[in-house]
């Protein structure tokens, strides 16, 4: 029962982040292209299991405007491309506070 609740939270969080990212991507694409601030982000990982890292990387890649690129050899950093990230620290904090937190709850 507890596992089902955890996975429900993962799905709900992902759907919310998906909706927000879709709107942000639409705005970015329809806006002035010179205003885009793409970035490669080094996201420090708290999730440790290979399955948890895979879940997080897949949720990031399925979210419009972001793509998981690679995981460091020590599995402590996930590299992510963001289409528009004017504040890289805020973007990293957002990933960690939403998607990573939920992934860690079900696959630590």
For 32-76, write each residue's pLDDT tens digit. 777 889 999 999 999 999 999 999 999 999 999 999 999 999 999
Q: Which two tokens stand for residue 29?
A: 């694409």
pTM above 0.85, yes or no: yes
Q: What is the pLDDT of residue 68?
A: 98
Q: By three-state DSSP, how is residue 7 classified?
A: helix
Chain center to CA of 97: 9
DSSP-assigned beta bridge partners for residue 68: 80
Where do the domains of the chain lie? 2-106
């Amino acid at each position: 029962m507890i596992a089902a609740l955890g996975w429900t939270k993962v799905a709900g969080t992902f759907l919310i982040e998906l909706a927000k990212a879709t709107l942000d991507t639409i705005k970015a694409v329809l806006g002035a292209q010179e205003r885009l601030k793409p970035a490669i982000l080094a996201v420090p990982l708290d999730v440790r299991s290979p399955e948890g890292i895979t879940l997080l990387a897949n949720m990031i890649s399925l979210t419009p405007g972001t793509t998981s690129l690679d995981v460091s050899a020590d599995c402590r950093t996930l590299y992510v491309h963001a289409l528009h990230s004017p504040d890289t620290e805020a973007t990293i904090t957002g990933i960690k506070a939403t998607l990573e937190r939920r992934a860690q709850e079900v696959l630590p």
